[in-house]
Structure 1
C-alpha cells in the first residue's frame, strides 16, 4: 500500500466568486456599476455584520495539496520509471510531480520488530542492482500459461466400451 501526495504547481492566483465558485454574478445593466461579478449579499440575518464560516468568497485558487491513501502498487518498471497503480485517478496536471510514500495505518503499533517507515525506503546498491520489472505477489504473471489442455481421448474410449 502507498500514499500519493500531489502538489499541483499550476495556480490561478486570486480569483473572484464567478471563476472560483461558478456563481452567476449580477446584472450588467440597469444602473449596475462595477458589481456585475461580485458575490452579492454575504451574510446578515438576526446578527448584523456576521459572515458564516465556509461562505464561498473570493480568494486564492489552485495549488492545493491532495492526498490519496491506500492505493495498491501492482508493478514497477525500474528502467523507464513507470508505476502501475490500482485506485482512483491521481489528481493534478500532466507532467507534474507526484510524491509517493509508504502507507501508515493510524492504529498500528510500532515496535522494534515493526519500525515506522522512513523516507526514502530504498537505498540503491551498486553490487545488487534492481531487476527491470518488480511485480506484486498477487499479480498474475502474464508470461506464464493460463490454460492447460489434457489429452481426453483415452477417457472417451473407456466410456464408450461401458
Structure 2
C-alpha cells in the first residue's frame, strides 16, 4: 500500500491507499472523515492513552516510538520497552515499532507484541540497500517468532 506521511489532503487528492498522521497533524477521526472508510489510517503514538484514543477514533495501525535513539526525528524521545509492550497489550490494532531500529538491536523488541518495524537508516545508510533490506527482513522475522 502507498501511505502518505502527515498530509491528509495530499493522500486524498492522489487517491493514496492511506495516510499516517502524527499527534500534531490530524486526529484519526478527522482523517477518517476526510478519506472515508476504505483507506488506511496510521497514527503515531507515544503513550497508552494516545494509542487507545487513536484506536477509538478508527486508526488501522499505530506507529510507536522512538524505540531506540534516532537522528531521523529530533522531537521524539526514546520510549521504554515497558511502554511499547503496554501499548501493544492495550490495543487490538497492529503496532509497528519505529525509531533507531537496526539489525543489531531489533532482537531487543522480541516479546513486545509488535507486528513489524519501520526503518530509514537501517536500509538507506547501507552501502548495499538491497542486501541490508533482505538481512533486516530476515532478522525481523526471527525476532517476531521469538
Shorter-chain TM range is under 0.3
Return the TM-score normalized by structure 2: 0.23
- Decide which structure has the larger Cα Rg and report it: 1
More strand by share: 1
More helix by share: 2
Higher relative contact order (CA 8 A, sep 6+): 1
